[in-house]
Amino acid sequence: MKENNAEKEIAQCNEEQEFTSKMAELYKKEEDKKYLDLTDQVRLLIPLKYSSIFPGKNVVEQMFAVTRLPHVHSVVGLPDIHLGYAFPIGSVVGASIVVPEGVGNDINCGVRMVRTRSNYRDVDMAEVARQLFDAIPSGIGGDTVNTIIDEIVNALNKGVADTQNRRAAFTDMKLINEVCNEGVDFLVKHGIVSDERDRIERGGRFPSDSRMLSQKAKAKGLKQLGSLGAGNHFLEIQRVAEVYDNDADFAVDELVFMIHTGSRGLGFEVCESATQVAASTRCITESEIGNESHDIQAVRKSIGLCSASISASGSSENLSYFEAHESEDYLLEMGCAANYAFCNRAIISKKVEEVLGQWNVKCELVYDVGHNSLIRENIDGRECFVHRKGAARALPPNHPELRCNREKGQPIPIGGSMGTSSYLLYAQDTAKSLFSSPHGAGRKISRHKARKLITMEQLRQVMGDIILMSKSEKGAIEEAPMVYKDIDDVVDAAVELGLVKKAVKLEPLAVIKG
């Protein structure tokens, strides 16, 4: 059996190498080898020289499958693109319809980067990591008892956070409703966090209405506010390793940290509910889905792809969607989850500040940006719904919506794989990517395969002196550095495309995972 499996893997490897070669041939026909317009609808933003991070056949299949939904205008694959559920992760889709699975379960999963202007040697790193691991709940569901909600409610009701404007006693449910309705505005108004909203995407608030949420979603939100979760979510303590933009005022060896998490179980419930509602009225089935364009059929033939089917989308369920006029309820629910995610990261950040304060270290937000979202935007004169799944919104210099860093472009913190470098980037000419940038390294080996191939001992060897604290060895192995693309290649590809420029390179000192 093992030999047969080995033969199968070798065959698959050879097949993928052949596919990559065929993709390279398509690039050679283009004058500009920096990206490939597979059709008028489908664009792959990876320069030919970075063929090592080309997507596999199944990912290109998934991009093509998305175009068969009605009223899809553009599908863009970014340098970190890889197979996802329904839509590829690392993709941007502009459409006149709303596809809940095009945002996914972890609505507004994102990265928050905070600087300190202190040297990392000024703190006891092992002690900082230990205290943060104890203070911040992590893991799947309710693996850790979460007392953060109680702390906030008690503070509000004692008048600690707001002595004059508190209208009535806060309950857990009132708190979760306000978080979902107001986002970071609520935390700032009650003195729970400092006002740094200019450095949060959309000011930390999406349009929303908590009355749209189910009680199940709110219950999960109550249980998990201020928690990391599991999977690829992390809290990473880092040092500045290299400064590319001297005006950014960073110093080598400055202590910084990144928080990567999202809307947790509340976001999951929003997506599940919306998908069911959409499916009850409109579901794309294989017999109803639109025919592919002749352009896509020709590209399929040239690179050896089989005919598309819904199963090629990576989903075991048929895709459902809302027409624009039917989407308002979902957009308000999604806004609740997005606001919850902004608050989740802000509350975790406050916990880190409290721990670092023992060493007289001050914290300052660099930027907080999501990478699973849906925003109604004007693209080339056409209003459409921009679905970003594993992609950060990236506003170029002097964009009217930018609230900070207008001359340089929106800051974009981009996390690498566990144990590798991360970056702070500035958005540049992002019109070609629907005003989006990569969000991370991009997985190249599935979680299942990682567990088969990698041991905890191997992972610790790769991590070296980096402190690793995780609730689950299995979860840590699934996120090992070798299961991801090279973050340097992903970032360099985005730079060559003109999407971003580098500001700072970061190296990990301690990693906390669920």
Cite the annotated binding site for GMP by residue number. Answer: 232-236, 371-372, 415-418, 422, 439-442, 513
The CA-atom distances, in angstroms, between 214 and each of 131, 267, 268, 274, 293 are 35, 11, 12, 11, 40
Q: What is the CA radius of gyration of the chain?
A: 22
Strands (E), 89-189: 89-95, 97-98, 110-119
* Longest Cα–Cα distance in the chain: 73
Tell me if 273 sits within 8 A of 347, measured CB to CB: no
Alpha helices in 29-122 (DSSP H): 57-66
- Annotated active-site residue in 73, 190, 387, 439: 439
Task: Tell me how far apart the alpha carbons of residues 338 and 493 are, in angstroms, rounded to a whole number.
Answer: 29
Handedness of CA 67, 72, 74, 80 (dihedral sign): negative
Burial class (CB in 10 A: 0-12, 13-18, 19+), 363: buried
The CA-atom distances, in angstroms, between 283 and each of 212, 279, 371, 389 are 22, 5, 26, 20
Binding-site positions for Mn(2+): 106, 233, 260, 371
- 505: tokens are 């390179």
SS3 state of residue 15:
helix
Q: Give the distance from CA 150 to its chain's centroid.
A: 28
**Cα angle 306, 308, 309; round to 5:** 130
Task: Tell me how far apart the alpha carbons of residues 207 and 331 are, in angstroms, rounded to a whole number.
Answer: 8
Task: Tell me how far apart the alpha carbons of residues 231 and 264 are, in angstroms, rounded to a whole number.
Answer: 11
Task: Tell me how far apart the alpha carbons of residues 212 and 334 are, in angstroms, rounded to a whole number.
Answer: 10
Give residue 8's region: left, alpha or beta (phi > 0; psi -120 to 50).
Answer: alpha
Look up 71 and say whether it is catalytic: no
Task: Tell me how far apart the alpha carbons of residues 190 and 178 are, in angstroms, rounded to a whole number.
Answer: 11
Task: Tell me how far apart the alpha carbons of residues 386 and 263 are, in angstroms, rounded to a whole number.
Answer: 19
Backbone angles phi, psi at 511, to 5 degrees: -125, 130
Q: What pairs with residue 513 in β-bridges?
A: 470
Q: What pairs with residue 110 in β-bridges?
A: 261, 370
DSSP per-residue codes, 98-123:
E-GGGT-SSTT-EEEEEEEEEEGGGS
Nearest residue to 440 via CA among 502, 495, 484: 484
Alpha helices in 285-327 (DSSP H): 294-303
Binding-site positions: 106, 232-236, 260, 371-372, 415-418, 422, 439-442, 513
Say which residues have a Cβ less than 8 Å from residue 205's Cβ, sequence separation at least 6: 182, 183, 184, 185, 339, 342
Q: Give the distance from CA 446 to its chain's centroid.
A: 17
What residues act catalytically?
439
